[in-house]
Amino acid sequence: MLKFKGGKDMKTTLSVIKADTGSVGGHNRPSEAMLDKAREVAAKAVKKGLLKDARVSFTGDDIAFLMSHTRGVDNSDIHKFAWDAFVETTKIAKKQGLYGAGQDLLKDAFSGNVRGMGPGSCEIEFEERAAEPFILFAADKCGPGMFNQPIFEAFADPYHNAGLLLAPDMKAGFTYNIMDVNYTEADRVITLRVPEDMYEINALLRDPNHYVIESVIENASGLKGAVVSTSRLHNIAGKYVGKDDPVAIVRTQKQFPSTGEILSPWAKAYYVLGDNRGSHHVAVMPVKQNTIISYFDGPTIVSAAGYCVHEGKFTELVDLFDQPFWDMVREKASLKTYEMRQQGFYGPAMAGMDELEYTGVVQILKGLDKKFTIRKSK
């Protein structure tokens, strides 16, 4: 446990802030020069004492800063650090002539918090347990609702969280904070619990473009176990400007499902909305760290980095999807994606109208609207 000078306990905050600030190829991956810059500014912030520790990674074309510090969530110095860092990586992307330079920086000037400005973020503050294992999930080519099913199942379903049967501590279940991401004036949230509200929770989470898990709390201990970035870029920009490409932090073991239980649902290779132009349903592929984007601007990918944090310092990462089991899942995800692609844009292959509203299809339909005639009945 970290201590203040007087000996009082100090809490650790983990902040993950990510953005797409440009990429090599189309929307494929950031450049080495951008990543070098990100690592350089992160190392400086650790040296200056703003951060206890930091790690830089990329998933497809998105760069993520994993940071530990003692300033709590929503701290403007931490958010400003990340914003400024993304301004720096944007400068490099522009200089190198990369595609989509500054894509996710939707506002001109920083104003206190990256939420509502384009970059995605999730943060969690806690008193470190004696061992504090956690997973950083980072996804590309999808929205934040892609975490609904795996995070719901990993905690609440004994098919995945065998600890619900075998480790009596977790039997009191979990509380889910769920956000209505279509409500843009403020945060509209609802708090529901398993097992009591099982069906109500599912009635919301089945619509992942509208309702998104924001955080999960263990009922018995009151400890927060998971946080997910919830931003929807089209709600900020009012048009399609790229996908949200969310991140999540999940604490594991003891009061929470084990690391393997948290990974278990990802073996299904769920269909999610994302992929090319953010508008297609494909199977999410669990990938190794630093995986690029390829086929049909996809497929939608998710990476999982396991760490322990101790007195604010991170261990090396364990690349949790870099294990032979996941080769089978990657194969399956490829086949599922390819099968859906055979259907092109018909029916379930493409996004529903509520999501396509933010794209050019609206103009086509508008143009056709005046050409429709109402046939006179005889």
Catalytic residues: 20, 240, 243
Compute φ and ψ for 159, nearest 5 degrees.
Answer: -65, -30
Q: 218: closest CA among 264, 257, 178, 266?
A: 257
Task: Tell me how far apart the alpha carbons of residues 203 and 57 are, in angstroms, rounded to a whole number.
Answer: 35
Task: Tell me how far apart the alpha carbons of residues 182 and 180 are, in angstroms, rounded to a whole number.
Answer: 6
Looking at beta carbons only, is 132 or 140 nearer to Mg ion? 140
Q: Is 297 in the site for Mg ion (CB under 5 A)?
A: no
Neighbours of 22 (CB within 10 A): 28
Angle between helices 198-205 and 148-156 (to 10 degrees): 160
Q: Is 278 in the site for ligand 13P (CB under 6 A)?
A: yes
Written as one letter, the residue type at 53 is: D
Distance separating the N- and C-terminal Cα atoms of the chain: 82
Member of 123, 218, 245, 261 binding Mg ion (CB under 5 A):
245
Q: In the window 85-104, what residues touch Mg ion (CB under 5 A)?
A: 100
206, 149 in Cβ contact below 8 A? no
Give the binding range for ligand 13P (CB under 6 A) out of 68-76, 116-124, 237-245, 314-322: 237-245
Q: Is 61 in the site for ligand 13P (CB under 6 A)?
A: yes
Written as one letter, the residue type at 7 is: G
Looking at beta carbons only, is 60 or 286 nearer to ligand 13P? 60
Measured from the CB of residue 103, what is the shortest distance to Mg ion in angstroms?
5
Q: In the window 6-25, what residues touch Mg ion (CB under 5 A)?
A: 20
* Range list of β-strands (E), 210-284: 211-218, 224-228, 247-251, 271-274, 280-283
3-state secondary structure 151-212: HHHHHHCCCCCCHHHHCHHHHHCEEEEEEECCCCCCCCEEEEEECCCHHHHHHHHCCCCCEE
Q: Is 255 in the site for ligand 13P (CB under 6 A)?
A: no
Q: Is 245 in the site for ligand 13P (CB under 6 A)?
A: yes
Q: How many residues bind ligand 13P (CB under 6 A)?
A: 19
Give the binding range for ligand 13P (CB under 6 A) out of 36-44, 79-87, 185-193, 274-282: 274-282
Q: Is 140 in the site for ligand 13P (CB under 6 A)?
A: yes
Q: Is 141 in the site for ligand 13P (CB under 6 A)?
A: yes
Member of 13, 68, 161, 253 binding ligand 13P (CB under 6 A):
253
Peptide bond before residue 30 is cis, with ω within 30 degrees of 0 = no
Looking at beta carbons only, is 215 or 300 nearer to ligand 13P? 300
Give the binding range for ligand 13P (CB under 6 A) out of 115-123, 240-248, 306-314, 349-357: 240-248
Q: Is 128 in the site for ligand 13P (CB under 6 A)?
A: no
Member of 119, 242, 286, 306 binding ligand 13P (CB under 6 A):
242
List residues near ligand 13P by CB under 6 A. Answer: 20, 27, 60-61, 100, 103, 140-141, 242-243, 245, 253-254, 258, 260, 276-278, 297
List residues near Mg ion by CB under 5 A. Answer: 20, 27, 60-62, 100, 140, 242, 245
